[in-house]
Structure 1
Amino acid sequence: PLRDAIEYRPQVFETLAIYRHDGTLNPHKTNAYNGPPRPELEEAWDKLMNNTNIRVTQDQLGEEFAAQDSIVELNDGSGYYVTVSAYHGLHCVQRLHHYIYAEHYYPGLDEFETFMLRRHAGKYDGHRQCVVWEKIEQWMAEHSFDPHEPGLLVHPIFGKLDAD
């Protein structure tokens, strides 16, 4: 059901450094999700991760997946509890951020609490619908090139990037 909501748009990828040479955040790199803990970072992550618990019907899920013991059926009969794998990945990135700033997010953890944070997820087995990664790798191999090949790249403003 999510595929119907996906839309693509062109966007400029900013290659500015997140941090300046002095270790402070670059004010020209607009990203609320990186840097040290601060209220706007917490608000941005909370907003991003707020709707990760998704309810789908059996028809949307498919009988094959609904029959698996790793899928949680909602007790009110309204459907099944799922999440979108991209959001699971974002959750993991958020955990890495928390680990970088562990003194802020997890002050004074003992060994057992640290172990539990590392094993916070439930059951990993079960059926999923996954991308056939080999096909992506094949496409990448067929379309890749060496940007360091002399004379190949032409900068849109400065012209050729090598000295001929």
Structure 2
Amino acid sequence: MPVNRKVMRMRLLILNEKANLRTEWHPTLRASILATIVLVVYSLGVSWITKLAVLGSYGPQVPAPASIPHPDEKEYVIKETGRAHDSWTHHLVYGKPSPDVDDAWYKLIKPFNTRVPADRYQASMGNRTSVRVEDGSYNSDYYVTLTVYHELHCLMRLRWFLEPEYYSNKTWQEQREDKSAMGHYRHCVWSLLESVLCHGDTSIRTFHWEPNKPAPKPDSLAERKCVDWDWLYKWTTEHSFLLQDKLLSHPVYGRLDENLM
């Protein structure tokens, strides 16, 4: 029996030790593991956020669209737009049809036809092709137009739409019945709509109260970040040409020397 009591005491000691491990060591172990997991997750989170910050965005990285000139080269200005009587653009829209106003519009869109060196074009556009400038050079320039000039062309055409008697010698009804012209106008409205939605200008427009009107009236003035138009116009002018220069040649019809505008 003495031996049996000794064995039983040993068994009790072992059971007590196991119980101590369950009640004391296991919580400590669980806490350590939990702390380690939290530390690892935190470290990964900090590393990921730092990476995103370096990339400059917390969202998916969207590749920059093809642009000539490259976005990094553009010059920008902060300016206040919407001053009706202080803006030369106001005269282009509200001025009565006249040779002077027409000349101002034609000057505005004169750099429509742009030529870009082949290496510069291929770096921006990849495998997308365009008409080449036929000037006799080995690796001739590409013929393009910047979207802003297409949009200006559309605005000029819509201005013509407002004055059918002056620009097309037609009445409103005759103009509406001209399917070709109306198709062009609708194309322009659609193109401008897509451009507005694409750029999504988020500059702020404010409102004010007027004594004799119950509804708030929107203000025209807005502070906006704009491309420096003088700089961009100079850039495109330096890279432009006239169709009358006969630098474009159709594979079948030959040299083009008429203005398409």
For the superposition of Structure 1 and Structure 2, which TM-score range results when normalised by the shorter chain? 0.5 to 0.7
1:2 to 50, 62, 69: 69
Deviation of 1:39 after TM superposition, in Å, equals: 2.6
1:155 maps to which residue?
A: none
Secondary structure of 2:143's counterpart equals: strand
- Larger RCO (CA within 8 A; separation ≥ 6): 2
Q: Is the 8 A contact 2:113 2:145 kept in 1?
A: yes
Q: Does 1:115 align with 2:115?
A: no
Provide the identity percentage: 26
The answer (yes or no) to whether the contact 2:132–2:141 under 8 Å persists in 1 is yes
The answer (yes or no) to whether the contact 1:32–1:44 under 8 Å persists in 2 is no
Equivalent pair of 1:37/1:104 in contact (CA under 8 Å): yes
8 A Cα contact 1:53 1:81, kept in partner: yes
| Structure 1 residue runs of 4 or more that deviate by more than 6 Å after TM superposition | 143-148
Deviations 1:79-131 (A, max 9, x none): 111000011111111111011111111114978x93333456xxxxxxxxxx9
- Displacement after TM superposition at 1:55 (Å): 0.3
Distance 2:126 2:131 in 1: 8
Larger radius of gyration: 2
**1:159 match:** none
What are the equivalent positions in structure 2 for 1:36-75 lying under 5 Å apart?
36-62=96-122, 65=125, 67-68=127-128, 71-75=130-134
Q: What do the CA deviations read for 1:41-80 (whole angstroms, capped 9, x no partner)?
A: 11210110111100012211116846445x1112225311
CA distance in structure 2 between the partners assigned to 1:84 and 1:118 by the alignment:
24
The equivalences for 1:1-150 within 5 A come to 1-3=68-70, 6-16=74-84, 30=88, 31-35=90-94, 36-62=96-122, 65=125, 67-68=127-128, 71-76=130-135, 78-108=140-170, 114-118=178-182, 140=202
Q: TM-score, normalised by structure 2?
A: 0.37
| Equivalences, count | 123
Name structure 1 gaps, 5 residues minimum: 17-26, 121-130, 149-164
Task: State the alpha-carbon separation in 1 of the partners of residues 127 and 168 from structure 2.
Answer: 38
Q: Alpha-carbon deviation of 1:33?
A: 0.9
Structure 1 residues 117 and 145: CA distance shift in structure 2, 3 A: closer
Greater helix share, 1 or 2?
2
Normalising by structure 1, we get a TM-score of 0.55
Structure 2 residue runs of 5 or longer lacking an equivalent are 1-67, 185-194, 209-261
Measured in 1, the distance between the counterparts of 2:112 and 2:178 equals 24
Give the SS at the match of 2:169: coil
CA distance in 2, matches of 1:28, 1:114: 37
